[in-house]
Amino acid sequence: MGIFSKLKDIIKAKNKDEEQKEQIAKYDTGLKETRKNFVNELNVLGLKFKKIDETYFEELENILIMADIGVNTVMNFMERLRKRVKSENITNPQELQEVIVDELFIIYVGNESLTDKINFASSGPTVILMVGVNGVGKTTTIAKLAYKYRQEGKKVMMIAGDTFRAGAVEQLKIWAERTDSLFYGAEQIDPAGVVYDGLQMALKEQAEVVFIDTAGRLQNKVNLMQELEKINKVIGKIIPGAPHETLLVIDASTGQNGIMQAEAFKEITNITGLVLTKLDGTAKGGIVLAIKESVNLPVKFVGLGEAMTDLIPFDIEDYIYGLFKDCL
């Protein structure tokens, strides 16, 4: 039995838990635009064709590409789909919908044990380094994550490692105040120095979760690579084994441009996971699958709204349900 067949039961069981029920509702609402375009097109395709032929495959391919799943991902997907149609002797387009959902799920999960959970330190502060180009919502993401962990009773600190962008330090300081988090920052000085002093303060204050903001200047990759290497060395020197996570923030609405950013950042530093912001503001929610296929990194959080509580842990089952609920 594939994920499509199990999904109803999985979601039904999750809906018995209030917190999970709320999260499922966010995926449902947040993926509305993608679902409206993507699933409607799939449904029309199923009604339009009485048999599965090459014309059907061509139209399906186009629908997947338009959902921003990515050309390479779609090509691999279509190859697997053709094989299953042949080996399982599937002739009815309506039956194939179930196989499509299963195969899209497999694209993300594969045979790997990628985790969407944050790797918390067993003792001392958990250090989370945040990277991403300017304008993707990195500072707001730090604020929302800080709010989440403050609500869970953790002592949170923010360190402003983006020391040269005008207003970046002040902006993070304001978010620290709003989320009742500790803060350390200074403008126009070496970011590694700020991180050093900030982590010393984090140890002194016994912070449990420390977020470090960084510059988002991807134009000169060499400079940024050197800066991040220096920051990483400082972090590891003060807190052995840290950073425990390096999260790359990507604006989901930028589609393929976001994938290029992920590929570029993966070249210059050790990314452990992704945060996709503004997933609710795009009809191209397929980027979740495309980005996993392109850079093989887990999505740890997704932004499905403007509120502080709308940045939520990524859940592949809830995501697939949010995309295909109209087919269930």
Tens of pLDDT, residues 200-224: 999 999 999 999 999 988 888 899 9
What does the radius of gyration of the chain's CA atoms come to, in whole angstroms?
21
Q: Which helix (H) or strand (E) holds 50?
A: none
Residues of the chain with pLDDT under 50: none
The pLDDT value recorded for residue 275 is 97
Domain positions in the chain are: 3-109, 126-315
**Residue 111: per-residue pLDDT:** 56
Q: How far apart are CA 173 and CA 62, in angstroms?
A: 46
What was the pLDDT predicted at 72? 85
Distance in angstroms (rounded) separating the CA atoms of residues 290 and 252 = 11
* DSSP letter, residue 278: -
Q: Tokens for 121?
A: 């330190």
Our CA dihedral for 71, 221, 272, 202, rounded to 10 degrees, sits at -150
What DSSP line would sit under 139-198, residue for residue?
HHHHHHHHHHHHHTT--EEEEE---SSTTHHHHHHHHHHHTT-EEEE-SSS-HHHHHHHH
Cα separation, 55 vs 303, whole angstroms:
36
Considering the domain 126-315 in this protein, what is its CATH number? 3.40.50.300
Please give the Cα distance from 328 to 324 (Å, whole number). Answer: 7
3-109 classified as CATH 3.30.360.10: no
What single-letter amino acid sits at 285?
G
CA distances from 177 to 146, 173, 181, 196, 273 (A): 11, 6, 6, 21, 27
- Please tell me the predicted confidence (pLDDT) of residue 114: 58
Residue written as token pair 């053709």: 82
pLDDT of residue 272: 95
Q: Please give the pLDDT value at position 314.
A: 93
Total-model pTM: 0.93
Residue pLDDT, tens place only, 31-46: 988 888 888 888 889 8
